[in-house]
Amino acid sequence: MMLLLRQIIMLTGKDLRIEARSRQTLGLVIVLGILIIVVLGLGLGPEQLTNGASATATLWVAYLFAGVLVFEKTMSVERHDGALASLLLAPIDRSVIYVAKLISNLILMLILALVITPVAVVLFGFDLSAAPGQFTMIMAMSILGFAAVGTLFAAVVSSTRLQGGLLAIVVLPLALPLVIASTQMMIQLFRDGKPIGGTGLTVLLAADVLYLVTSWLVFELILEP
Amino acid sequence: MKQMNSIFVSIYWLATLALLAIGVVMVFAYTPTEVTMGPVQKIFYLHLPIAICTFFSCLTVFVASVGYLWQRKAMWDHLAHAAAQVAVIYAAIVLLTGMIWGRAAWGAWWQWTPRLTFSLVLWLLYVVYLVIRPSIESSQRRAMICAVYGVVAFLDVPLVYLSVRLMPDIHPSSIELEPAMKSTLIFWFIPVIMVTVGLIAASFKLAKRQAACNITRELPLPKSKTARPLRPTITSGNRGVV
Amino acid sequence: MNSLNYAIGAYVVGLGLIIGYAAWLWLASIAVTRRENRQNGQERR
């Protein structure tokens, strides 16, 4: 158990160190997120913007497209210099590789979310004061599920000559339950003022568990240098 | 042996067509019209069996995808592809008939109701399966990616179902069925199931033959004897036929 | 539009899609047959 934990920390640390030194992913992705929010802000009228529901929708669009980019880039790191082959030869369980990649992706997405959510809140004048905690929880659970599936498919797709949009198109429909559930809960929360019910949370929880378990199991089968 | 096979196939499809025709006659001439909703309710006899068979096709994609991940044999990929084509066609039928029903019942072609949204997402899930295939050149990589996608997409279906139930449902409809309606509905399952199995089998056989010929998607050759046949387009890999 | 017409329209769309797909499969299988024959050297120009 301790060994697994150490391996995960080591692999995650490696990824984050690479990111810190090359700084290729984070800046790009944050700016993309901001651009998306600005475009949506320009497109939607003022009455639509301050609605809590469009808050979630805007953030989702930004998270989904920027997130896909994050997953692509963290996986493409392994393509350089045969890094993936070396990784597979090391005495590390493949599922450990998955968990490590997932955590790296989650950390990057967390940073992304921490930056662009306030941007959206300010630009659109959202009032989150009604239920900031529940908002955070919903978005956190959703991002977890999204990252779980995204990490898996980034690995599956990455060895193909990356045809533009391939990762986006496979991950987006699979993430739709997360989008539906979280937007519905946000509507209830901010427009109708009702606290989140059990059903919504159960759906998110079930989705997270399903995505995590399936991705973790399937990852074993698909990783090829 | 091959002739026995094609005789069987011909009889099968003729029988299916006959049953479909009988079904249509039953719906419009024999079954009574439902009181509250009017004639548009007759869509139900087509809509429900197709919806059930959509699920069956999606399940087939799942099983075939698992089969491929487990055994890595091309035939599983062919089966998954065939079932996915049928799933998309059927999901489109479910979606369109649902929309037509909605238009008649509420006056709008689209409403973000749980049922319609579910149909739309289901259709999208499997359309993506078909659409990504031509983008991946290596046939093994393509089979692999689609198999993983096929597994996760099917597991996603109950999640979609649960998540759309959070949406407000404007028009919950539960229909009381008279005996004549019940028998029509049950009757319709027979030709629809035959069509489902027949189409998946036909598509599967076609995929196998195409793979054997190393063929890409092409139009049928012109019938005229004097016309030049199209240049064969053999590439290094298999391009999946959508 | 009369409600019955909607029902008829739905059947036309539904059965039409099925028949259309079946026809597409059939045409593709003809193409494959010709390809097979050509590859076996049996088809004359």
Does the pLDDT of residue B62 top 60, yes or no? Answer: yes
A183: tokens are 């937007």
* Residue B75: inside a domain: yes
Site of tokens 């097979």: C36
Q: Which residues in chain B touch residue A199, judged by CB atoms under 8 angstroms apart?
A: 162, 165-166
Residue A42 CB neighbour total at 10 angstroms: 8
B13 assigned to some structural domain: no
Asked if residue A162 has pLDDT above 60, the reply is no
Q: Is residue B87 part of a domain?
A: yes
For B101, the closest of C10, C30, C35 (CB atoms) is C10
pLDDT at B230 over 60: no
Q: How far apart are CA B189 and CA B182, in angstroms?
A: 11
Residue B93 has pLDDT above 90, yes or no: yes
Res A225 pLDDT > 50:
no
3-state SS record for B57-98: HHHHHHHHHHHHHHHCCHHHHHHHHHHHHHHHHHHHHHHHHH
Instruction: Please give the span between the terminal C-alpha atoms of chain A, in angstroms, as a whole number.
Output: 27
- Read off the pLDDT of each residue in A170-196 and give the average, rounded to a whole number: 85
* Cα B197 from Cα B186, distance rounded (Å): 17
How many structural domains does chain C have? Answer: 1
* C-beta of residue A181 within 8 angstroms of C-beta of residue A98: no
Query: So what's the pLDDT on residue B54?
Result: 97
pLDDT in tens, A36-78: 988 888 887 666 666 666 777 888 899 999 999 999 888 887 7
SS3 A211: helix
Nearest residue of chain C to residue B94 (CA atoms): C14
pLDDT recorded at residue A217:
87
Q: What is the mean pLDDT of residues A183-212?
A: 84
Cβ count within 10 A of residue B11? 10
Provide the whole-model pTM: 0.85
* Domain count across chain B: 1
> Touching check for A198 and chain B: CB below 8 Å?
no
Does residue C23 have a pLDDT over 90? yes
Scanning every residue of chain B, which has its alpha carbon at the shortest distance from the alpha carbon of C18?
B89
pLDDT (tens digit per residue) in B135-182: 888 888 899 999 999 999 999 999 999 999 888 877 656 666 777 888
* Predicted confidence (pLDDT) at residue B219 exceeds the cutoff of 50: no
Confidence of residue B236 (pLDDT cuts 50, 70, 90): very low
Q: Assign A26 to helix, strand or coil.
A: helix
Whether B125 maps to a domain, the answer reads yes
Nearest CB partner across the interface for B163, out of A157, A174, A180? A180
Q: If you count residue pairs, one on A and one on B, with CB atoms under 8 Å apart, how many are there?
A: 97
For position B237, what pLDDT does the model report? 47
Sign of the alpha-carbon dihedral angle for B210, B215, B220, B224: negative
Cα gap B2→B14, rounded to integer Å? 18
The Cα-based distances of B24 to B11, B136, C2, C7 in angstroms read 20, 42, 19, 11
Task: State the CB neighbour count (10 A cutoff) for residue A91.
Answer: 5
The pLDDT of C10-38, averaged and rounded, is 93
Cβ–Cβ contact C12 with B under 8 A: no
Cβ partners under 8 Å of residue B112, min gap 6: B167
Q: How many CB atoms lie within 10 A of CB B189?
A: 16
Mean pLDDT, chain A, rounded, equals 83
Asked whether A and B share 3 or more beta-carbon pairs under 8 angstroms, the answer is yes
Q: Does B210 touch chain C (CB under 8 A)?
A: yes
Residue B221 counted as domain residue: no
With CB atoms and an 8 Å threshold, state whether C15 touches B20: yes
pLDDT of residue A35: 92
Q: Provide the domain limits for residue B43.
A: 38-201
The label of the residue with tokens 């199991």 reads A217
Model confidence at B74, pLDDT cuts 50, 70, 90, reads very high
Q: Please give the full DSSP string across chain C, using - where no structure is assigned.
A: --HHHHHHHHHHHHHHHHHHHHHHHHHHHHHHHHHHHHHTT----
Q: How far apart are CA B97 and CA B87, in angstroms?
A: 15
ipTM over the 0.90 cut-off: no
User: Which residues on chain C are in Cβ contact (under 8 Å) with B104?
Assistant: 1, 3, 6-7
**Cβ of B24 under 8 Å from any chain C Cβ?**
yes
Query: In this structure, what token pair is assigned to residue A136?
Result: 């955070």
Task: Give the per-residue pLDDT at A47.
Answer: 67
Average pLDDT over residues B78-86: 97
- Two tokens at A15? 């990824």
Check: CB of residue B135 under 8 Å from CB of residue A165.
no
Of A150, A144, A202, A140, give the one whose Cα is nearest residue A172.
A150
Copy the structure tokens of residue B158.
């109950």
Length of chain B in residues, anyone? 242
For residue B199, CA distances in Å to A135, B7, B20, B83 come to 47, 17, 15, 8
Cβ–Cβ below 8 Å for B103 and C10: no
How many domains in chain A? 1
The model's pLDDT over B108-142, given as tens digits with 9 standing for 90+, comes to: 898 888 999 999 999 999 999 999 998 888 888 89
CA gap A53, A210 in Å, rounded: 26
Per residue in A148-158, pLDDT tens?
999 999 888 87
CB contact under 8 A, C18 and B97: no
Taking only the tens place, the pLDDT of each residue in A104-156 is 999 999 999 999 988 888 888 777 777 788 888 888 999 999 999 999 998 88
Distance from CA of B237 to the nearest CA of A (A): 13
C and A: touch, per 3+ CB pairs < 8 A?
no
Cβ contact, residue pair C17, B206, below 8 Å: no
For the beta carbon of residue A160, count every other beta carbon within 10 angstroms.
18
For residue B223, pLDDT over 70 is answered with: no
Query: In which domain, by residue range, is A54 found?
Result: 2-222
Please report the pLDDT score of residue B179 as a whole number: 79
Domain that holds residue C11: 1-45
pLDDT value for A49: 62
Q: What is the pLDDT of residue B220?
A: 45
Which one of A156, A185, A205 makes the best mutation probe of the B interface by having the most chain B beta carbons within 10 Å? Answer: A156
pLDDT at site A103: 92
B71 belongs to a structural domain: yes
Would an 8 Å CB–CB cutoff place B158 in contact with chain C? no
